Chain A
Amino acid sequence: MDQIIDQFFNFKIMLEAWPIMWRGLMMTLLICAAVIPLGLIGGLLVALAGTSSTTWFRWLVIVYIDLFRAIPPLVLLILIYSGLPFAGIRLSPFTAVCLAFFLNNSAYFGEVYRAGIESIGEGQSEAARSTGLTQIQTMAYVVLPQAVRNVLPDLISNTIEVVKLTSLASVVALPELLYSSDMARSLTYNASPIVMAALLYLIILLPAVRALTRFEQKLAAQ
């Protein structure tokens, strides 16, 4: 038991590792601040492209969504980070992370928005068009507000997944929370820094997960 506490919950080592962990946490939040809006906006654009009346273009959007939902995000990240240099394109770890996550997240968010838009009946846009609203106005004021509301739980759950996904950035040596804790682990030969990283992730995400569950239960009860 003492051994477990010493190896996993060593307070002294956690305290020592705190400065580097803090910087890692800030980097994680910075990545989130970049990739969450990118994914939300990119996904919206993908979904709007999916409402095109041109059949081949709609299929192209579905191919895009399914392709990037099929490739594991880590594979995409490594492909971009260590594959592209062979073509003379060398991206910083941060840019590579943003690009890989953009491709992955816009596909996932795109699918969520798409389902939302499809859940709104034809009558809504007909009513809006019959009052003279343009196609874009109809989308912006009538269809999207309802669509987003219908898929809000999925949007939240996807956003939580994106935050968790940022831990992959450690693989391309971007010093975010997990990378920093693993550095501290290899310096101290002790797993406590990783436990600490886990606790920090829990502090950020556990309330969100709990709130999401509550929210879904409330919706189901209606």
Chain B
Amino acid sequence: MSVPAIIKIIDLHKSFGNLEVLKGIDVTLGESELVFILGPSGSGKSTLLRCCNRLEQAQRGQILFDGTDILKPDTEINAIRQQIGMVFQSFNLYPHLSVLGNICLALRKVKKFSKKQAREIAFHQLERVGLVDKSDNFPSELSGGQQQRVAIARALALDPKVMLFDEPTSALDPELVGDVLGVMKDLKNSGMTMLVVSHEMRFARSAADRIIFMDGGNIVEEGPPEQMFDNPQHQRTRSFLQQVGY
């Protein structure tokens, strides 16, 4: 890769008790790259994503973000987290706050913006995901797809350098998936760096720059989408793609 790396994961190990779920992972994420992680459930892909935000604590290895190792205990993790946006499978919107309140909370409390500034940013991001008219609604009044778009706006509002997506569409009804993928596609076109765990194969093929296939806590193979889908090198990749019907 010739583009400068934003995230560089080096020999990452993570265990839950005796169960080793990441067995030495190396990934480099270049600027404006969209990297897709595929793999069967239990392959460790979600754990890998959560380690990048230190929601999970890895035991060994390094994750360099802009050259800083975020795994070091003395790293200002809350400062780094603002620059790494995260979108969850189950949205995790705050049910006691309005859409605007959800987006403004970190802007006000972490970035210390004034109320007016925070609202401006929030509206700008809501415009981006097409939900300006829902600003005063509460999460329970929105559809799943709308909630996930608000969650994306909440992460984008902090002006992150990279966005992590943890199965963003798998809790959605099929007819709502398209809106969320559309927002992600727009993001990609605007040059956002993204690391995505998802089962949306068609989206992976059309939007990803690179695809990583994980199984059993290891990276089995990686490459551009055409190669991964049309000519996978490993038996395990082939059987996975067959299983998901691709």
Binding site for B on A (CB under 8 A): 121, 123-124, 126-134, 137, 141-142, 145-146, 149
Contacts and interface: CB of A to CB of B under 8 A. Distances in A.
A130 B53 contact: yes
Contact of A146 (B81, B84, B96, B158): B96
Interface of B: 53, 55, 78-82, 84-86, 88, 90, 92-96, 105-106, 109-110, 151, 154-155, 158
B142 to A, nearest CB: 16
B78 A132 contact: yes
Contacts of A137: 109-110
Contacts of B79: 132
Contacts of B93: 127
Contacts of A145: 96
A-side interface mostly: helix
B94 A132 contact: no
A146 to B, nearest CB: 5
Contacts of A126: 55, 88, 92
Nearest to A135: B78
Given A126-B55, A141-B105, A142-B105, A131 B92 contact: no
B112 to A, nearest CB: 11
B194 to A, nearest CB: 15
Main secondary structure, interface of B, reads mixed
15 contacts: A127-B92, A127-B94, A127-B151, A128-B105, A130-B55, A130-B86, A131-B82, A131-B110, A131-B158, A132-B79, A132-B82, A132-B106, A133-B105, A137-B110, A146-B94
Nearest to A123: B92
B81 A131 contact: yes
Residue among A127, A128, A133, A141 having the largest count of chain B Cβ atoms under 10 Å: A127
Contacts of A128: 94, 105-106
Contacts of B78: 129, 132-134
A129 to B, nearest CB: 7
Contact of A123 (B81, B88, B109, B110): B88
A143 to B, nearest CB: 10
A137 B94 CA distance: 14
Given A131-B155, A133-B105, A133-B109, A146 B95 contact: yes
A113 to B, nearest CB: 16
B165 to A, nearest CB: 12
A56 B81 CA distance: 30
Given A132-B78, A132-B81, A124 B92 contact: yes
A149 B151 CA distance: 22
- Which has the most chain B C-beta neighbours within 10 Å: A121, A123, A132, A149? A132
A146 B139 CA distance: 13
Contact of A142 (B90, B94, B151, B155): B94
Contact of A131 (B90, B95, B154): B154
A149 B96 CA distance: 9
Contacts of A149: 96
Contacts of A146: 94-96
Give 5 nearest A-B pairs by CB, closest first.
A127-B92, A131-B106, A130-B86, A132-B82, A123-B92
Nearest to B90: A123
Contacts of B158: 131-132
Contacts of B106: 128, 131-133
A12 to B, nearest CB: 55
B105 A131 contact: yes
A134 B86 CA distance: 16
Given A131-B81, A132-B82, A141 B55 contact: no
B235 to A, nearest CB: 36
Which of A123, A128, A130, A132 gathers most chain B CB within 10 Å? Answer: A130
Given A123-B88, A130-B86, A141-B105, 19 more contacts: A123-B90, A124-B94, A126-B55, A127-B88, A128-B106, A129-B53, A130-B55, A130-B81, A130-B85, A131-B106, A132-B78, A132-B82, A132-B158, A133-B105, A133-B109, A134-B78, A137-B109, A141-B109, A142-B94
